[in-house]
Amino acid sequence: MTKKMKIGIMAAVSAALLLGGAFLYFKDDIAQEIAENDLEPFRPITVSQDTLDEITSDLIAETTTKNTTKINSTQAVTTAEIPQNTAVSDTIPDDVRQSLIDSAQTMNRAHPDAVGWLYIPDTAINYPIMQGCDNDFYLHHSYDGSSLKSGSIFLDYCCENRLMNPINIVYGHNMRNGSMFAGLLKFADISYFDSHKYGWLATSETVYRIDFFSCSKADMNDAIYDGSAPVDEWISHLSDISVVTENTYFSENDRLISLSTCSYEFENARTILTGKLVEMKPAKKNQ
């Protein structure tokens, strides 16, 4: 074998190893992209999403900077001390509302573990929420049950699947490519929080606006993950661990939702974005 042939073989082997290493490095991202592309038939139609974007933009313009403050970990705010925000409309066009419900029903028929669809405008968070019989399965499985490193966004298995609990906890990975719940970390910045303080959740039965009022940091074993705690005590503790909070009025009938992901401020740190679920009523499109 000539020297030239040996060099050629070595180059080919090196290229194969390099390509193989690149594939191994990016295979999880590729698998995740395929899974997300397969979700396209179930996503809310563009016109509905555009309407939610417009409504959100108008709401933020009305409410930005009115009540948001930085607090330290020694402060606690009880529900009795929190003044009511400026009231905002709890209606959306009936056709948009029904379209969102239809999309959630289609997703649920195809994948019965799907409990709703979560969308936060101007972020990458636009995913179905799944719920398993434990909090392990969807940590590493896609919405269709296939193995996937990025897992799924999922509701704590202890929560009622229509989000009827006073406190509802949703988990998702903090992915290096910025997908899933990686974007939650940005809410610790007060300016970003101010400009992204509303989200949307469609279920098979109804549509909710999420009015975010807290971004907090906690250990993975923190009491904030005890959704069975008395609500007043839970909110007081949430205030203690919040890095950004917005003054919000709570009634005894309110339901809350916390979105949680890993972060790296300390060992086993978690970033938690919490909001109030506001059920949206149908309104005429021209209202």
Confidence class for position 10, pLDDT limits 50, 70, 90: low
212-227 per-position pLDDT tens digit: 999 999 999 999 999 9
CA dihedral 245, 251, 253, 258 (to 10 degrees): 0
Alpha helices (H) along the chain: 3-37, 46-63, 94-110, 190-195, 231-241
> Under a CB-based contact definition with an 8 Å cutoff, are residues 130 and 113 in contact?
yes
Tokens, residue 71: 């607090």
Which residues, including other chains, have CB under 8 Å from residue 123's CB and lie 6 or more apart? 183, 186, 196
Domain 38-283 CATH (choose: 2.40.260.10, 2.60.40.180, 1.10.340.30, 1.10.357.140): 2.40.260.10
Rounded-to-integer distance, Cα 135 and Cα 54, Å: 35
Instruction: List, in sequence order, every residue forming a beta bridge with 207; answer none if it has no partner.
Output: 202
Overall size of the chain counted in residues: 287
Q: Check whether 70 has a pLDDT greater than 50.
A: no
133-180 per-position pLDDT tens digit: 999 999 999 999 999 999 999 999 999 999 999 999 999 999 999 999
How far from chain centre, in Å, is Cα 201? 9
Minimum mean pLDDT range among 80-94, 145-159, 199-213, 257-271: 80-94
The single-letter code of the amino acid at 116 is G
Rounded-to-integer distance, Cα 182 and Cα 42, Å: 22
Tokens, residue 207: 């549509």
Average pLDDT, integer, range 17-39: 66
pLDDT on residue 216 = 98
DSSP secondary structure, 218-260, as one string: EETT-GGG-TTS-HHHHHHHHHHHEEEEE-----TT-EEEEEE
> Under a CB-based contact definition with an 8 Å cutoff, are residues 114 and 129 in contact?
yes
> Under a CB-based contact definition with an 8 Å cutoff, are residues 118 and 125 in contact?
yes
CA dihedral 151, 155, 158, 164 (to 10 degrees): -170
97-126 per-position pLDDT tens digit: 999 999 999 999 999 999 999 999 999 999
Q: Check whether 72 has a pLDDT greater than 50.
A: no
> Under a CB-based contact definition with an 8 Å cutoff, are residues 132 and 154 in contact?
yes
pLDDT on residue 30 = 83
pLDDT on residue 7 = 56
> Under a CB-based contact definition with an 8 Å cutoff, are residues 102 and 190 in contact?
no
The single-letter code of the amino acid at 238 is L
Q: What is the pTM of this model?
A: 0.83
pLDDT on residue 219 = 96
> Under a CB-based contact definition with an 8 Å cutoff, are residues 259 and 159 in contact?
no
The single-letter code of the amino acid at 268 is N
CA dihedral 276, 247, 282, 279 (to 10 degrees): 20
pLDDT on residue 12 = 55
